[in-house]
Every structure is written in C-alpha cells, then in structure tokens.
Amino acid sequence: MWKVNIITLATLVMNAAEASSGIQTITLVGVNITGKSIKKFMKPNEKIWTLLSSRPQHFWCMVDVVRNATKHMIYFDRTFYNYRAICKTFHCTGNLLIPSIMLVACRDSRESTYEALVYASKDYKCGVFYVLDAKPGRNNGWFDVRLKSKKMGEIPQECFIFFNKARNNTRHNTIYNKSICRHCMPR
C-alpha cells in the first residue's frame, strides 16, 4: 500500500509545483501532504532526532543538525550508528522540491532519499516523515518520527498516534536508546 515509485513522486512534485496558490494537499498513495514546511521544521543549530521508524533497522541514533538553510536548500549533518555499530556523520543537502518534500543527498554516501513531512505538531517540535529511496527500482517507503530537542523526552502523543495510523500495522523499530546514543552524538 505504501509502495510508491520514483515516477509517481516526480509527477507529484511537478504537479504540486504547478499549483498557483492556496494550501496544497497532495495524496501520495494514502499519505496526505498538506502544506507542511520542512524549512520550518529544520531550523539551523537544532538537533532533530529520529525516535521511531518503520524502516527495517539498519541504523540507530540518527540525529540531524542543520548548519544552514536557503530558499531552496537545507544543509545539515546526519549522524548515526550504521549496521556495523560504527558512528558515522555525513554532510547532507536537502533540495526543497516543494515546501513539504526534499531530495536528500549526503556526501560520501551512495544513498539518496525523498523525504516528505507528512505531519507536524502545531509547534513543529515533532514531525512524521515519509521517506522513499530515490534510486530507481527501490520503491519501499517508510515512516520516521522525528523530534527537535536538545534533550530527549517522550514522543508527543499526537505524533505517535499519526505514526501508528500511517504505518498501518507494519513493524516499527525504536531508533533512539539513550545509553547507546550518548556515544554517537554530534557536538
């Protein structure tokens, strides 16, 4: 149900870019994208932690720290433990295709993804992202719960509820664990 291919996403982005005004509501095979702003969510010098994910677990302790943002680009560092338990940091760029979708590419990494902010709390402290591998032929998407915080706390209930509905009974993984993640944190 949540599988979306790159052509569909590209068509979605082109159609959204052609919209002239008003609040844009886009449906991505069951995922509504309603005028959420990734730039508003990803502000410079804030830590954005991925707490839960419906992606098969290949990483832990993922945190993004935004260095700079322009009208169409977000520059950030993404730090995480990889599947070999090695702490990695990549310098990444998020190219804003529309306000709620960015194409993320990281230097020294072969992976690139489309990341759509599908839900944000009213204060933009918590968000649910739909992430899709950008490589042709890889069309399995997943959901992440991300929280902006210097210190970790609990997931706001509205984000957790949205995530659980969106993932539609697929398995989810806890990505953040304080005792593990304290050894792989950006400064």
pLDDT: is 99 or 150 the higher one?
99
Give 35-52 pLDDT, tens digit per residue: 789 999 999 988 999 888
Helix (H, G, I), strand (E, B) or coil at 170: coil
**What phi and psi, each to the nearest 5 degrees, are found at residue 106?**
-120, 135
Looking at residue 116, what is its pLDDT? Answer: 95
- Residue 26 in this model has a pLDDT that exceeds 70: no
Q: Which amino acid is at 80?
A: F
Rounded Cα distance between 142 and 55, Å, is 5
Give 127-148 pLDDT, tens digit per residue: 999 999 888 776 678 899 999 9
Q: What is the mean pLDDT of the chain?
A: 79
Taking residue 31's Cβ as centre, other Cβ atoms within 10 Å add up to 19
**Which residues make Cβ contacts (< 8 Å) with residue 125, sequence separation at least 6?**
147, 148, 149, 156
Q: Where are the domains of the chain?
A: 6-181
Architecture of domain 6-181: Beta Barrel (2.40)
CA distances from 150 to 26, 83, 172 (A): 32, 25, 24
Give 110-122 pLDDT, tens digit per residue: 778 999 999 999 9
Give 150-168 pLDDT, tens digit per residue: 666 677 889 989 998 988 8
Q: How confident is the model at residue 56 (pLDDT cuts 50, 70, 90)?
A: confident
Q: Which amino acid is at 78?
A: R
Looking at residue 32, what is its pLDDT? Answer: 60
Bridge partners (DSSP) of residue 120 are 127
